[in-house]
Amino acid sequence: MADTGNRTLRLLSLMQSRRNWAGADLARRLGVSVRTLRRDVERLRDLGYPVEAQPGVDGGYRLAPGASLPPLVLDDDEAVALVVGLQAAAQTAVAGMAEASVRALTKVVQVLPVRLRRRADALRAV
């Protein structure tokens, strides 16, 4: 079951990284059959993610915009870049964005692993 959960998170991360994916490409990246991929896509749908499927030669899968912002799966560099970007946004005079940036920054920093928090702190200090 842990493998299935990890694979589902990897699938979500892949789908968030590119607009369209051929089923065979996703299956290959995940190391599973196309049939297993279809089950994993269905699992994402059951969890509320709006996954669209387009049949045919030029078809594939895509994560459609949803009614609410889904959880994002970020790699280490993306998470650090997000923290640094939010810090910069919090320090600018963009109308109405400073307060929201501080709130978002606080939420992200709270869930960062210590090693990433240290990297982000080092970059923010520069």
- pLDDT for residue 112: 87
pTM recorded for the entire structure: 0.64
Residue 92 to residue 112: CA distance in whole angstroms = 23
Residue 84 to residue 56: CA distance in whole angstroms = 42
The model's pLDDT over 41-97, given as tens digits with 9 standing for 90+, comes to 999 999 888 999 998 877 899 988 875 677 788 889 999 999 989 988 888 867 778
